[in-house]
């Protein structure tokens, strides 16, 4: 069982949902798409990842869509004094010493939790990159879960989910299809 987060805290969750919807509306943002409730497990990628504002906007979009999200991190960042806060914010500590790597450790999280949506940045950084990191793909493929295609477009003031994608095991072919689904929201140089 996963720990209680800001997405599941009784009084906090509805307040944050109202706050998120209100702030986005006042700022002129449009939230599009959704992650269907029946999609209990998935990797949610957020692209492009270009600024420190991506996390607060992503959380406001998640609250607006009423979709609880988690993220994974090395267990060392969950130590005192901030460990409890990190977990409450949706963090899942992963002990990399018990697995070969973060991919395998995260796949194991899906084996342990019937409902789990993990948010990740495919770029792995806020800087412009020539190629996405492949971890999000191999986690989704290894766990047998779809990838929800989240986006933030600061220019058009739009954010949300474009749909979902099921991996085939052919990373390069699937990545081309993912880029195609992002269309004008993303201009990767691959």
pLDDT by residue (tens digit) across 30-76?
999 999 888 999 999 988 777 778 888 988 999 999 999 998 877 88
Whether the per-residue pLDDT at 25 is higher than 90: the answer is yes
The answer as to whether 154 is a domain residue is: yes
Distance CA 161, CA 81 (A): 34
Domain count, the chain: 1
The answer as to whether 4 is a domain residue is: no
Lowest-pLDDT range of 26-30, 85-89, 96-100, 170-174: 96-100
End-to-end CA distance of the chain: 38
Q: pLDDT tens-digit profile of 101-153? A: 888 888 999 999 999 999 988 876 656 667 888 989 999 999 999 999 999 99
pTM exceeds 0.85, yes or no: yes
The answer as to whether 144 is a domain residue is: yes
The answer as to whether 17 is a domain residue is: no
Q: What DSSP string runs through 128-187? A: --SS--SHHHHHHHHHT--EEEEEEETTTTEEEEEEEE---S-HHHHHHHHHHHHGGG--
Whether the per-residue pLDDT at 97 is higher than 80: the answer is no
The answer as to whether 140 is a domain residue is: yes
Distance CA 85, CA 79 (A): 10
Distance CA 58, CA 134 (A): 21
Whether the per-residue pLDDT at 98 is higher than 70: the answer is no
pLDDT at 128: 66
% of the chain exceeding 90 in pLDDT: 57
Whether the per-residue pLDDT at 190 is higher than 80: the answer is no
Instruction: State whether residue 26 is helix, strand or coil.
Output: helix
Task: Tell me which residue has tokens 């939230």.
Answer: 31
Read off the tokens for 44: 């949610």
Q: Which range of residues forms the domain containing residue 62? A: 29-183
Distance CA 92, CA 15 (A): 23
Closest Cα partner for 106 from 86, 134, 81, 83? 134
The answer as to whether 83 is a domain residue is: yes
% of the chain exceeding 70 in pLDDT: 91
The answer as to whether 170 is a domain residue is: yes
Q: How would you list the strands of the sheet with 30-32, edge to edge?
A: 30-32, 158-165, 147-153, 41-47, 116-120
pLDDT at 47: 83
What single DSSP character describes residue 91?
E
Distance CA 18, CA 32 (A): 17
Distance CA 76, CA 73 (A): 8
The answer as to whether 12 is a domain residue is: no
């Amino acid at each position: 069982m996963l720990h209680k987060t800001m997405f599941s805290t009784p009084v906090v969750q509805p307040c944050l949902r109202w706050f998120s919807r209100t702030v986005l509306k006042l700022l002129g943002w449009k939230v599009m798409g959704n992650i269907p409730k029946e999609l209990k497990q998935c990797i949610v990628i957020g692209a492009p990842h270009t600024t420190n504002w991506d996390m607060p906007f992503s959380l406001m979009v998640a609250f607006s869509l009423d979709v609880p999200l988690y993220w994974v991190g090395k267990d060392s960042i969950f130590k005192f004094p901030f460990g409890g806060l990190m977990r409450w914010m949706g963090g899942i500590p992963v002990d990399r010493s018990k697995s070969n790597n973060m991919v395998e450790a995260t796949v194991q999280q899906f084996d342990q939790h019937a409902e789990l949506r993990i948010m990740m940045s495919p770029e792995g950084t806020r800087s412009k990159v020539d190629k996405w990191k492949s971890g999000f793909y191999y986690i989704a493929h290894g766990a047998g879960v779809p990838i929800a295609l989240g986006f933030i477009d600061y220019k058009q003031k739009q954010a949300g989910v474009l749909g979902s994608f099921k991996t085939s095991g052919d990373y390069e072919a699937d990545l081309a299809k993912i880029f195609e689904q992002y269309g004008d929201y993303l201009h990767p140089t691959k």
